[in-house]
Amino acid sequence: MHIPLLLLPVLGALARASPIISRASSWPNAPFTTSGRDMKNSLDETVVYAGVNWPGAADVMIPEGLQYQSVSTIMSKIKDLGMNVIRLTYAIEMVDDIYEGVDSSLKTAFVQALGETNGTKVLKEVLTHNPTFTENTTRLEVFDAIAAEAHTQNIYVHLDNHVSKGEWCCSHTDGNAWFGDTYFNVANWKRGLAFMAKHAKSWPAFTSMSLRNELRTTANGTGDNWVSWYENMIPAADGINKANPSPLIFFSGLNYDTQLGTIVDGNDIGNGTSFALSDHAYADKIVWELHNYANSATNCGDIEGSLRNQGYNAMEGDSTAVNTAPVVLTEFGFDQNSGSESVYAQCIKKYLNTLPGGPGGWMQWVISGSYYIREGGQDKDETWGLLNHDWSDWRNQTATDYTKSFVDETLT
Ligand SMILES: *[C@@H]1O[C@H](CO)[C@@H](O)[C@H](O)[C@H]1NC(C)=O
Ligand SMILES: *[C@@H]1O[C@H](CO)[C@@H](O)[C@H](O)[C@H]1NC(C)=O
Ligand SMILES: *[C@@H]1O[C@H](CO)[C@@H](O)[C@H](O)[C@H]1NC(C)=O
Ligand SMILES: *[C@@H]1O[C@H](CO)[C@@H](O)[C@H](O)[C@H]1NC(C)=O
Ligand SMILES: *[C@@H]1O[C@H](CO)[C@@H](O)[C@H](O)[C@H]1NC(C)=O
C-alpha cells in the first residue's frame, strides 16, 4: 500500500487519537479476491505478493531450518527483506499420516527420516532453538506455529502442496509427477487439499493455497496433458472452495509449471472443451501460477517472450488472454554465489516490476540455507538459499541486495 508522504502526518495523528481503528489491527484484510489481473484484499486494495519459499515437504515433512534457528528468527529475516508472503510447502503424506493415525510427533518424524542417532540429535537442536515445542509436538503444530508467527509479523501465508510422498522435488521419475503416478494417489491428494484448506481457517495470515506444484510427465512418459489436467484440477479446486471458500486458489500448469497458455487463452484442451473462468462459481478466487528457471538465458527478450506465451499475457492486458486472472511467479531463483547479476535474475526483476498495470507477484526459491535431508544427504547445503548454512545470516550480500531491491520496487 502506497501512502502519499503528505498524508503521513495526518494518518499519524489519527492513529494516535484512535489506535483501535488503525488499519494495522485488521491485517491481513482477508479474504482476498481477484479483479481482472489483480489480487484484492477485503478493502478492495490491490495486493501484490513479494516473498520467498519456505520448504516443508521433504522427508521429515517439517519446515526446514528449525535445528539452527527459531521460527521467529527466520520469519524476522524474511521481514527484514521487506517481504510480505511465504510460500509454505507441505506433503500430502503428512495429511495421510494424520488420517491413518500414524504418530506424527517431531521425535518420530526426525528419527524416521534421519535415523535414530542423527534424528535424536537434530530433534534436540530443534527443541533448543524452539523451546515452545516438545518431542510430542506434531508436524502440523509446527505449521501452526509458523502461521501464527507470520500473523504476528504481518506476512501472508500461501500454502503449497509440493508433493504427495515427502521428498525432494521434482523429477519425472520421483513418483510424484502426475495424477496416478506411483505415490500420487488422486483421492488422497484431494482429501489432503481439503483438509489443509479447512485446517488453515484457524490461521489469520492464511490468504491463498495451491493445487499442486510442478506437474510433469511420469517416468514412462505418460501424463502432462490438458484433458487429464482439467479432469483432476477442477474437482480438486471445487473441493478446496467447498472446504473453505476464503483462500485464493492457485492453478499451476504443465511441464514443471511452465505452461498455462492454453488455459489462459481459452483454447481447446484437446477434446472440444475449453477452460472458462465463468464456468466456476469461485472465478474471483482463481490465480495462475508459473515457475521460471531460464537461468542460462543470454537475452531478456527471449525470457519475456516465453513468459508471455506461458500465461503472462494475462498480466499484460493482452486480448489473447481470455481468462484474465492474476499470474504469480511462485518459483524462480539462482545460485547465490554467482547468479544475482545474471541476465536471468535482472530480467525477471525488470519484467515483473514493469508489467503494464503494475508489478506482478513472486516468491523466490529459496530461504533455506540447508535441508534436514535432501536426496539422501543429511544437513545438505543449499547454494540457492538466501540464508547461509546455519540460517544465521545472508549467504551473499550482493544477492541479498538484489532481492531487497526487487521487493522494494514491487511493493512501492
Ligand atoms: C548424520 O548426519 C551427518 C551430517 O550431519 C551425515 O554426514 C551422516 O551421514 C549422517 N548419518 C547417517 C547414519 O545418516
Ligand atoms: C511425550 O509423550 C510421551 C508418551 O505419552 C510421554 O511419556 C512424554 O513424557 C511426553 N514428553 C513430553 C516432553 O511431554
Ligand atoms: C505409466 O506410469 C503411470 C504412473 O506411474 C502408470 O499409471 C501407467 O500405468 C504407466 N503406463 C504404462 C503404459 O506403463
Ligand atoms: C473433455 O475432458 C474433460 C475432462 O475429462 C471433461 O470434463 C469434458 O467434458 C470433456 N469434453 C468433452 C467435449 O468431452
Ligand atoms: C556474491 O554474488 C556476486 C554476484 O553474483 C558474485 O559476484 C560474488 O562473487 C558472490 N560472492 C560470494 C562470496 O560468493
Buried b (16+ CB within 10 A) or exposed e, 141-168: bbbbbbbbbbbeeebbbbbbbbbbbbbb
Q: Residue 220 CA: which ligand 3 atom is closest?
A: 1
CA atoms of 188 and 348, how far apart (whole Å)? 35
CA pair distance 122, 135, nearest whole angstrom: 11
How far is ligand 5, taken at its centre, from the CA of residue 337, in Å?
Answer: 5
Task: Check if the beta carbon of residue 266 is closer than 8 Å to that of residue 324.
Answer: no
227 Cβ below 6 A of ligand 4: yes
The rounded Å distance from CA 150 to ligand 2 centre is: 28
pLDDT tens-digit profile, the chain (412 residues): 333 344 334 444 444 444 444 455 599 999 999 999 999 999 999 999 999 999 999 999 999 999 999 999 999 999 999 999 999 999 999 999 999 999 999 999 999 999 999 999 999 999 999 999 999 999 999 999 999 999 999 999 999 999 999 999 999 999 999 999 999 999 999 999 999 999 999 999 999 999 999 999 999 999 999 999 999 999 999 999 999 999 999 999 999 999 999 999 999 999 999 999 999 999 999 999 999 999 999 999 999 999 999 999 999 999 999 999 999 999 999 999 999 999 999 999 999 999 999 999 999 999 999 999 999 999 999 999 999 999 999 999 999 999 999 999 999 9
Distance, CA 50 to ligand 2 centroid (Å)? 40
Domains annotated on the chain, with CATH: 29-411 (3.20.20.80)
Ligand 4 site, residue 102, Cβ cutoff 6 A: no
Report which bound ligand comes closest to the CA of 344.
Answer: 5
CA of 183 to the centre of ligand 3 (A): 12
Pocket test for ligand 1, best of 59, 116, 118 (most atoms within 8 A of CB): 118
Ligand 4 atom closest to the Cα of residue 272 is 13
Pocket of ligand 5 (CB under 6 A): 337-341, 396, 398-399
Q: Which residues contact 245 (CB under 8 A, 6 or more apart)?
A: 31, 282, 285
Burial (CB count <10 Å: 0-12, 13-18, 19+), residue 235: exposed
Spatial contact of 240 and 247, defined as CB atoms under 8 Å apart: yes
Please report, as a single letter, which amino acid is at residue 81: L
- H or E element in which residue 158 lies: strand 156-163
Q: What share of the chain is helix, strand, coil (3-state, %, to 5)?
A: 40, 15, 45
Q: How far apart are the first and last CA of the chain?
A: 7
CA dist., res. 4 & res. 350, Å (int): 24
Mutate to test the pocket of ligand 5, among 384, 398, 400, 405 (most ligand atoms within 8 A of CB): 398
* Residues lining ligand 2, Cβ inside 6 A: 134-136
User: What are the backbone angles phi and psi of residue 231, rounded to the nearest 5°?
Assistant: -60, -30
Residue 115: CB within 6 Å of ligand 1?
Answer: yes
- Ligand 3: which of 165, 182, 186, 222 to mutate, most ligand atoms within 8 Å of CB? 222
The whole-angstrom separation of Cα 56 and Cα 50 is: 19
Which numbered ligand comes closest to the C-alpha of 379? 1
The four Cα atoms 276, 281, 285, 286 give a dihedral, to 10 degrees, of -20
User: What's the pTM value of the predicted model, to 2 decimals?
Assistant: 0.94
